[in-house]
Structure 1
Amino acid sequence: MTVLVAYNETPQGKAAFAAAVEESERRETNLVALVLTPQPNDAPIPSQLGALISAHGKDVDVSFRSDKIDVADAILDHAERIDAEIIVLGARKRTPVGKFLLGSTTQRILLDASVPVLVIKAGE
């Protein structure tokens, strides 16, 4: 089984990665990072993610989201593909208008995931 972290280069992504490392160590399982910024799969690992991987000393498989699939679908599909036992996401605060006008990726994942989802807020 595997821990999947949905990663982007934001404070939320950094917090989610740290939580995913802890979760994978607690569960004694693999860690997979899905980079949400669309890139070809042979792209280099983003610099901030590379630094986080080095700092935590954890082997991490890294994949990239295709620009042909939306974020929530990419996360859900990847979780299914790798047989993830948990999905770790970073979250940010949104205004009431933002919640009304924009669909929530986090909400879609929480409702549609077939495995538990751990949502982490970044420190402010």
Structure 2
Amino acid sequence: MTDLYSTPHPRFPTPNLRVTASPGVDSAAATVVLAMRADASPAVLDHALAAAHREEACLRAVVFGTDTTTAPSVSPLAECTRLGEALAEAGVEFEVQRAGSDPAEQILALAEDHDARLIVMSTKRRSPVVKLLLGSSAQQVILEAECPVLLVK
């Protein structure tokens, strides 16, 4: 007899976070991870592209919105598509993911899974008190990353 109550059954499949990618990204030898806020300055992308070219690496990006006390907002797919178009135009191998429920964990997992050489992360300025109360994805990534992290405003 099947025990339907003690075995979890997902009602819906887990959605894929990958929005767009270049054909050769999965065979890339090196990786730079880009943690891109939807409202970031163009300098963030410039730094990430420079790092990818310097390291001869692909660029794996996570696009996320602002942090809230409950969960980070999920960036619209249009932002992910726009970033994918910019990366294709720049001539690098790339993957763009929309943010899941915990962008910091997602960024760290990407860096660990692909042995990233660098994490380029966009940030916004918050007071120390607000960071203490609300937390910060950037702080978590900095504390837990096993590779260098470049924070760009």
Query: Does TM, scored on the shorter chain, surpass 0.5?
Result: yes
1:101 alignment partner in structure 2: 133
1:81 alignment partner in structure 2: 113
* CA distance in structure 2 between the aligned counterparts of 1:82 and 1:65, rounded to whole angstroms: 18
Candidates 66, 71, 76, aligned match of 2:100: 66
* CA distance in structure 2 between the aligned counterparts of 1:81 and 1:64, rounded to whole angstroms: 17
Deviation at 1:47, TM superposition (A): 4.3
Matched, 1:19 2:42: no
* CA distance in structure 2 between the aligned counterparts of 1:25 and 1:104, rounded to whole angstroms: 29
* CA distance in structure 2 between the aligned counterparts of 1:10 and 1:51, rounded to whole angstroms: 17
1 or 2, which has the higher helix percentage? 1
Q: What is the number of residues matched between the two proteins?
A: 115
2:8 alignment partner in structure 1: none
Unaligned runs of 5+ in 2: 1-29, 66-73
Letter of the aligned partner of 1:65 in structure 2? A
Deviation at 1:4, TM superposition (A): 0.6
* CA distance in structure 2 between the aligned counterparts of 1:9 and 1:45, rounded to whole angstroms: 7
Distance 1:28 1:77, change over 3 A: same
Unaligned runs of 5+ in 1: none
Looking at CA atoms only, which structure, 1 or 2, has the larger radius of gyration? 2
**Over 4 Å off, 4+ runs:** none
* CA distance in structure 1 between the aligned counterparts of 2:128 and 2:117, rounded to whole angstroms: 32
Which of 1 and 2 has higher RCO (CA within 8 Å, sep 6+)? 1
Distance 1:47 1:61, change over 3 A: closer
SS in 1 for 2:117: strand
Distance 1:44 1:99, change over 3 A: closer
Deviation at 1:51, TM superposition (A): 4.5
Provide TM-score, normalisation by structure 1: 0.76
Distance 1:93 1:46, change over 3 A: same
Deviation at 1:109, TM superposition (A): 0.9
* CA distance in structure 1 between the aligned counterparts of 2:58 and 2:144, rounded to whole angstroms: 23
Instruction: Give the % identical residues.
Output: 34
- Kindly indicate whether the alpha-carbon contact (under 8 Å) linking 2:61 and 2:97 is maintained by their aligned counterparts in 1: yes
Deviation at 1:88, TM superposition (A): 0.6
Q: Deviations over 1:79-120 (max 9, x none)?
A: 111221111101111123312311121111111101111111
**Alpha carbon RMSD of aligned pairs, Å?**
2.3
